[in-house]
Amino acid sequence: MKLKDFKVEQWMNENEGQAKYNLTDTCASSFSLQELLDMGELDPSSILLDYGEITGKKSLRQEILNLYQGKDPDQITTTNGCLEANTLVMDTLLEPQDHVITCVPGYQQFVSYPESLGCTVSLVHLDLAKDWSCSLDDFKNQITENTKLVILNNPNNPTGTLFLLPFLEELIAVCRKKGIYILCDEVYRDPEHLESISDLYERGISTSSLSKLFGLAGLRLGWVKGPRDVIQKINARRDYVMISTGELRDALGMIALQNKEKILQRTRTILQTNKGFLRSWLRAHPDFSCVIPKEGTVAFLQIHGMKDSESMAKRLLKEKGIFFVPGSCFDKEGYMRLGLGQDPENFQAGLKELALFLKSVKPL
């Protein structure tokens, strides 16, 4: 099985450490271990470092279910982050020759991974002219006899596109007729604001984690929520690749989920502050434009006249310590992926530096 290089992840790995202003991270500002422990009553020295319950502590799975309407713990299994959750779903559902539909610009895993399994992948192009949205027909027109899976990311990285309930209901009606599964990566979903596909559709599979809105990417705790039979098959696969997420992670994840209101409120406040600043910054700097998303922690910042986003991202990092993932990592020139969840002071200082730098290097 041949896999293409994962451009975004490689760019992050190679460059992230040098950033003074990280304007591209997709997580909310991270918590320290101490900050997390202070939210609960856990004495970490008392934890037995064994495998723990193999498919994730039952009480943890129940706590995860509080982010959803459905309440069956056998519809949940835990994973190493949302990334592995997605991989396990695709490994479980897809066979060579199956057909998959997904959106671009988007997260490369949804294109390159099914291709590596021998599937064909059709792309729905999100349209900037429609605020990065698409129509139901864009999906309908791509469906073939072999279509097994539609993959969404809601909200979408990097465009911030939202798939709201009326659209999801229409898409579900189309997929239901043909027995097509919908995998929805909901790693950027705020459970209070957006529906989960797994609560709406009997063939809907939702993946998520504590990485983004919870600011706990280093915990590497994710999950899949889906139909019982799919979860059972995923669990059979997990025995080969991970066994369990382990006692320690499950216990720490439990603290985070029990404090979800507090943690999510902190994230919402950061996002609101950063979006407010971005709005006024865009008004003052007409060389940039951006569809500011209603939900999620990412947006796609357009720099007018920029032709080579990779060279620009390298210069910005080297000369000013401003770190971006260039649009080229999403096969889209003229853009930088903007993260909205980091410390507001640093975010504002970084954007100010960016505008000054761009002025000094004109024309691009």
Chain positions contacting ligand PLP, by CB under 6 A:
26, 81-83, 107, 153, 157, 185, 187, 209, 211, 217, 222
Looking at the Cβ atoms of 329 and 358, the one nearer to ligand PLP is 329
Q: Which of 234, 273, 220 is nearest to 89 (CA)?
A: 234
Min dist CB 319 to ligand PLP, Å, is: 26
Hunting for tokens 């989920």 — which residue is that? Answer: 257
Looking at the Cβ atoms of 112 and 176, the one nearer to ligand PLP is 112
3, 69, 109, 130, 292 from 162: Cα distances, Å? 28, 20, 19, 12, 11
Task: Say how many C-beta atoms besides its own lie within 10 A of residue 8's C-beta.
Answer: 19
Min dist CB 75 to ligand PLP, Å, is: 19
Q: How far apart are the first and last CA of the chain?
A: 40
**Which residues neighbour 54 within 8 Å (Cβ) at sequence distance 6 or greater?**
235, 238, 239, 243, 244
Min dist CB 73 to ligand PLP, Å, is: 20
Looking at the Cβ atoms of 83 and 358, the one nearer to ligand PLP is 83
Looking at the Cβ atoms of 257 and 358, the one nearer to ligand PLP is 257
Instruction: Report which secondary-structure segment, H or E, holds 249.
Output: helix 247-258
Residue type at position 310: E
Looking at the Cβ atoms of 22 and 353, the one nearer to ligand PLP is 22
**Which residues neighbour 293 within 8 Å (Cβ) at sequence distance 6 or greater?**
155, 159, 160, 161, 162, 299, 340
Looking at the Cβ atoms of 133 and 207, the one nearer to ligand PLP is 207
Min dist CB 177 to ligand PLP, Å, is: 27
Min dist CB 221 to ligand PLP, Å, is: 8
Looking at the Cβ atoms of 157 and 274, the one nearer to ligand PLP is 157
Min dist CB 224 to ligand PLP, Å, is: 12
**Which residue is closest to ligand PLP by CB?**
81
Min dist CB 277 to ligand PLP, Å, is: 23
Crossing angle (nearest 10°) for helices 81-93 and 109-116: 40
Task: Say how many C-beta atoms besides its own lie within 10 A of residue 65's C-beta.
Answer: 18
Looking at the Cβ atoms of 281 and 293, the one nearer to ligand PLP is 293
- In the chain, DSSP assigns E strands to 21-22, 76-80, 99-104, 120-125, 147-153, 181-185, 204-209, 221-225, 288-290, 298-303, 322-323, 325-326, 335-339
Min dist CB 14 to ligand PLP, Å, is: 15
Show the tokens assigned to 223.
């999950």
